[in-house]
Amino acid sequence: MAGIISFGAYVPIWRLGEGTKDWGSKAERSVTNFDEDTLTMSVAAAADCLAGLDRKAVDGLYVASTTFPYGEKQAASTVATAGDLGSSIFTSDVGNSLRAGTIAFKMAMDSVKAGSGKRVLVTAADVRLGASRSDIERNGGDGAAAFLFGDTGEAATIDAQHAVVNEIIDNWRPEGETGVRSWEDRFVFQEGYLKAVGQCVTELLQKTGLKMEQFDKVILYAPDARRHAEAVRLIKADPKKVQDPLFGKLGNTGAAFALMQLVTALEEAQPNQRFLVVNYGDGADALVVHTTAKITEVQKLPRRGMKGFLASKKAVPDYADYLKWRGMFSADSGVRRPAGGGPSPAALYREQAEVLRFQGVKCNKCATVQYPPQRVCTICHEKDNFTPIRLSDSKAKLFTYSMDYIAGTPDVPLVISVLDFAAGGRAVLMMTDRDTKEVKIDMNLELTFRKLRLAGGIHNYYWKAMPVR
């Protein structure tokens, strides 16, 4: 029987909220740092989902989002490589709809059922960007969810699914624009959201013979808190059984939103519980998720999950910082030097183990771990006798650091860190998501996949250090 065998999430550490000057609202929403995007969040959620599991067993990957970095160039191939998955796997991006997450969910499920994949990973992530001061900005959030599907050891099964399509221009983003547009509210919600959700849930109940009271939890996508409450009334769900959609804490994370709520529900679930999951976008998806006795075991995997990530947060100091991070407001960067060129795709391709997988090597003779990979051992001079070792998920400690006040990056002072890995080896990396006051020699660090820069039309991704979350 095919089902969910693990799950995970990622929420950026940053929140717009009470602690943010000029944000103008007590309600919090999550926002990505300037060096994060859909792709980096997908890598983080995938790592959370696969914590404690064999990454090489994954044989399929669907990456869902409405905000991919490239028009042509797959995100899933980068996520697979940075996630240190194997290379003989099927990868696909699923995009263009807010429903992309549940669409990928269905595709992964179907592929395991059909036997074309044994361990299929799904990630869903979005950076929700609206015009400055718009409702979309205020109610939005950034985040990611991930699920691993398989045919053994299921923590939850998908008992039924139903989809409806509704051709409508309610929220949309034309090619080349970064902010989501919206038609008039009353039309958008009455003819779009509420209509599709109502139809989809009614048809699912008819199809399965289930009644609303048979669900232990109801998980609903909604553009904002008001429409969420309207949808709950419309489908006659018991408000006590409705999963908290986290408006005012996380915000609407687009393609990831419903699935991040499902992760929360699974983190808290008991065995043999039935969840209704409803997602929206160009129609609607409804799923019946049913937990098994295995759920308690799977809950114990070493993931941070929604609970861990939501608890770990920092306030964006100023709304202007947020605008700068999103490129909506440009401050003088302090850079006084000519701009550099882009990276070489040939070099990036060649050095993938170092750059994306963040693999070092361990000498088979003297056991010294070295990063980046070497041909000749720095200690015993043994040649070409190494075993690759993934360091991206190794704990690390700060050996020394400096803070560059004229770096010209959005996070001046730029913290440069020399870190020593618990697994052995040393690396010099930028530090992100840090408060300069907490930076101290011997502090505990972990790695996080980030976008270094966009140059020559190439999004250059690599790893940074960050204080342990």
Partner 1 sequence: MAESIRDKVAVIGMGCTKFGERWDKNQEDLMVEAVFEALADAGLESKDIQAAWLGTTGGSTGQPLAQAAKLEYIPITRVENACATAADAFRNACYSVAAGVYDIVLATGVEKLKDSGMTGLAGGGGGGTNISPPTPPPVQFALAAQRYAHQYGYKAEDLKKALARIAVKNHHNGSLNPKAHFQREITMEQAITAPMIAYPLGLFDCCGVSDGSAAAIITTPELAKHFRQDYTLVKGLGLTVGGMQGRLQSQYDFVHFEENTTAARQAYQQAGVKNPLKEIDLAEVHDCFSITELIICEDLGWAPRGKAPEYILGGVFDLEGELSVNPDGGLKCFGHPIGASGLRMMYEVYKQLQGKAGPRQRKNPTLGLAHSLGGTPGSFTCAVTIFGARD
- CB of 217 vs partner 1, minimal distance in Å: 43
Which residue from 116, 344, 364, 387 is in contact with partner 1, where contact means CB under 8 A? Answer: 344
Could you say whether residue 340 binds partner 1 (CB under 8 A)? yes
- CB of 456 vs partner 1, minimal distance in Å: 9
The stretch among 144-152, 239-247, 256-264, 419-427 that binds partner 1 (CB under 8 A) is 419-427
The stretch among 28-36, 188-196, 285-293, 406-414 that binds partner 1 (CB under 8 A) is 406-414
Which residue from 241, 249, 313, 426 is in contact with partner 1, where contact means CB under 8 A? Answer: 426
CB 123 within 8 A of CB 144: yes
C-beta closer to partner 1: residue 135 or 404: 404
C-beta closer to partner 1: residue 331 or 428: 428
- CB of 339 vs partner 1, minimal distance in Å: 10
The stretch among 57-65, 189-197, 243-251, 414-422 that binds partner 1 (CB under 8 A) is 414-422
C-beta closer to partner 1: residue 34 or 462: 462
- CB of 316 vs partner 1, minimal distance in Å: 23
Which residue from 353, 418, 446, 469 is in contact with partner 1, where contact means CB under 8 A? Answer: 418
Could you say whether residue 343 binds partner 1 (CB under 8 A)? yes
C-beta closer to partner 1: residue 257 or 449: 449
- CB of 78 vs partner 1, minimal distance in Å: 14
Could you say whether residue 409 binds partner 1 (CB under 8 A)? yes
What binding mask, one character per residue, do residues 365-404 give for partner 1 by CB under 8 A, x or -? ---x-xx--x---xx-------------------xxxxxx
- CB of 357 vs partner 1, minimal distance in Å: 13
3-state secondary structure the chain: CCEEEEEEEECCCEEECCCCECCCCCCCEEECCCCCCHHHHHHHHHHHHHCCCCHHHCCEEEEECCCCCCCCCCCHHHHHHHCCCCCCCEEEEECCCCCHHHHHHHHHHHHHHHCCCCEEEEEEEEECCCCCCCHHHHHECEEEEEEEEECCCCCEEEEEEEEEECCCCCEECCCCCCCCEECCHHHHHHHHHHHHHHHHHHHHHHHHCCCHHHCCEEEECCCCHHHHHHHHHHCCCCHHHECCCCCCCCCECHHHHHHHHHHHHHHHCCCCCEEEEEEECCEEEEEEEEECCCHHHHHCCCCCHHHHHHHCCEECCEHHHHHHHCCCCCCCCCCCCCCCCCCCHHHHHHCHHHHCCCEEEEECCCCCEECCCCCECCCCCCECCEEEEECCCCCEEEEEEEEECCCCCCCCCEEEEEEEECCCCEEEEEECCCCHHHCCCCCEEEEEEEEEEEECCEEEEEEEEEECC
Which residue from 1, 57, 367, 428 is in contact with partner 1, where contact means CB under 8 A? Answer: 428
* # chain residues binding partner 1, by CB under 8 A: 48
Could you say whether residue 405 binds partner 1 (CB under 8 A)? yes
Residues in the site for partner 1, rule: CB under 8 A?
A: 336-338, 340, 342-344, 346-348, 350-351, 354-355, 368, 370-371, 374, 378-379, 399-409, 413-414, 416, 418, 420, 424-426, 428-430, 441, 452-453, 455, 460, 462
